[in-house]
Amino acid sequence: MTATTTASKTPVNSFNWGFSIKLAFLYFLSRLKFLHKLFPEKLRDDLPIGWNYQMFWLSFSTGGQKVYYDLYCRSKEPESFQPKAKVAPQFQLTEEQVKSFHDNGYIGPFDLLTPEEVKEMQEYCFSVVDSESQVYSFSKGEYSFQEGTKKNALLGGYEKLTEENKKYFSSRLNLMDRHLDSPNILAMLKRPEIVERCAQLLGENLILWRSQFFTKTPKKPGTTWHQANVWLFDNFKEPVAHPADIEEISQLTCWVAITNVTKENGCMKIIPGTHKEIYPINIDRSENVNNIYGFIGGTLDYPTESAKVDYIEMKAGQFYFFSERAIHGAVDNITDQNGLALNCRITRTDTRIHNQEVLKKGSYSIDIFGIDHSLNNWNAVLLRGKDEYGYNRILQEDKD
């Protein structure tokens, strides 16, 4: 299920001079950072401070017909395909495997859990999913819904959240970052099968900053083709992740199959090689658009219908890595069975998650959900090596 929102009434494929003029004005102001404190709060909220010039120029020159949902970049090739960390032999990746990852944007699957562990973890994870999150708890006031009209000055937005919207967005948030209130999940994600392989692709020093359960209920529609980079689309203003070099692949998503995943019950699909560039969205501003991102509808500006597609089928207890820059999605669950998967996002310690202003404020706005949530219970987790930069708030774990 995706959220239904009401967008502006601009015709689907028309050049909108009003959009371009407004964008030029706001983009110009966004570059004047030394003046931002003097601007009214509403104006500051509308500034596209996380946009780069390529994003501005494409949207400006097309009159808003094409927009990047995330920070535009191209990925550069690594200097070599040698693994970036020394690991135990049982976790060793070959140069050919590393090259395959950089060619295709994903690698795996690999084994993680034994059959006995799978049964225990399935029971545990389903119980976690059915319980209220202690990381973002509505009953404890850890998040609230934005009231009234909420519109991004450039991209439109919803007029008012419906109860259906709220229920859907609450369920999404309840599935997020459960490794922070569920010790067995965190222990699973810290296992060397995951961490040591990831280190060979990213480097010695790693943090975990986000996890997300994905429920595959019977007959549930899949996820449309999309890309992610630094999660600018949360509010279309500023990214969540701030890597040291945007052109490097400095972050990976580990996707763990809690139950078997097949082409019949909702496995992931990837267009290999598409991680090398972020593509724009062809915008649909018509009313009542169903859209995963919450604001506006549209289709990825890429020939997905004729592209080669890899379907990532896995047994329960297996995992694989992929770059979310790769165009990816999920197929429909056409079965009568429930399924469950968990992903986590791992990056290097030289990547800053959230800026200092957000952390000081202690809350973060996910405008696509219409939610303001507390960061009181959020921390990054040091998975491997040392945190030499001190950019992130690191979870202080008990050392027994």
Distance (Å) of CA 126 to CA 122, 131, 150: 6, 9, 34
The DSSP output letter for 84 is: S
Higher pLDDT, 167 or 249: 249
User: Which pLDDT tens digit goes with each residue over 268-277?
Assistant: 999 999 999 9
Q: Is the pLDDT of residue 147 over 50?
A: yes
Cβ–Cβ under 8 Å, residues 325 and 225: no
Tell me the pLDDT band of 357, cut-offs 50, 70 and 90.
confident
Q: How many helices and strands (H and E) does the chain possess?
A: 9, 22
All structural domains of the chain? 4-83+94-384 (2.60.120.620)
Average pLDDT of the residues in 104-111: 98
Average pLDDT of the residues in 226-238: 87
Q: What is the pLDDT of residue 310?
A: 99
Q: Is the pLDDT of residue 157 over 70?
A: no
Tell me the pLDDT band of 162, cut-offs 50, 70 and 90.
confident
Q: What is the pLDDT of residue 5?
A: 31
CA contacts within 13 A on the Cβ side of 170: 19
Cα–Cα distance for residue pair 308/366, rounded to 1 Å = 33
Query: Using CA of residue 157, residue 167, residue 253, residue 310, what is the dihedral sign?
Result: negative
Q: What is the pLDDT of residue 188?
A: 98
- Highest averaged pLDDT of the listed ranges 27-41, 228-242, 283-297: 27-41
Cα–Cα distance for residue pair 320/272, rounded to 1 Å = 14
Tell me the pLDDT band of 4, cut-offs 50, 70 and 90.
very low
User: Which pLDDT tens digit goes with each residue over 304-319?
Assistant: 999 999 999 999 999 9
Average pLDDT of the residues in 160-169: 81
Average pLDDT of the residues in 22-44: 93
Distance (Å) of CA 46 to CA 17, 203, 295: 18, 36, 14
Cβ–Cβ under 8 Å, residues 236 and 154: yes
The sheet with strand 206-216 has its strands ordered as 106-111, 318-322, 251-257, 339-348, 206-216, 381-384
Tell me the pLDDT band of 148, cut-offs 50, 70 and 90.
low
Higher pLDDT, 248 or 291: 248
Cβ–Cβ under 8 Å, residues 292 and 2: yes
User: Which pLDDT tens digit goes with each residue over 194-205?
Assistant: 999 999 999 999
User: In sequence order, what are the residues at sequence separation of 6 or more whose Cβ sits closer than 8 angstroms to the Cβ of residue 350?
Assistant: 205, 243, 244, 250, 389, 391
Q: What is the pLDDT of residue 145?
A: 85
Structure token digits, residue 90: 């049982």
Helices 192-202 and 95-104 sit at what angle, rounded to 10 degrees?
80
CA 287 to chain centre: 26
Using DSSP, state whether 391 is helix, strand or coil: coil
Average pLDDT of the residues in 126-150: 87
> Average pLDDT over the chain, rounded to whole?
89
Share of the chain above pLDDT 90, in %: 73
CA 342 to chain centre: 13
User: In sequence order, what are the residues at sequence separation of 6 or more whose Cβ sits closer than 8 angstroms to the Cβ of residue 300?
Assistant: 225, 226, 227, 279, 281, 282, 327
User: Which pLDDT tens digit goes with each residue over 253-270?
Assistant: 999 999 999 999 999 999
Q: Is the pLDDT of residue 41 over 70?
A: yes
Q: Is the pLDDT of residue 183 over 50?
A: yes
The sheet with strand 297-300 has its strands ordered as 66-67, 281-284, 297-300
Higher pLDDT, 12 or 154: 154
User: Which pLDDT tens digit goes with each residue over 275-297?
Assistant: 999 999 998 765 444 333 334 56
Q: What is the pLDDT of residue 397?
A: 84
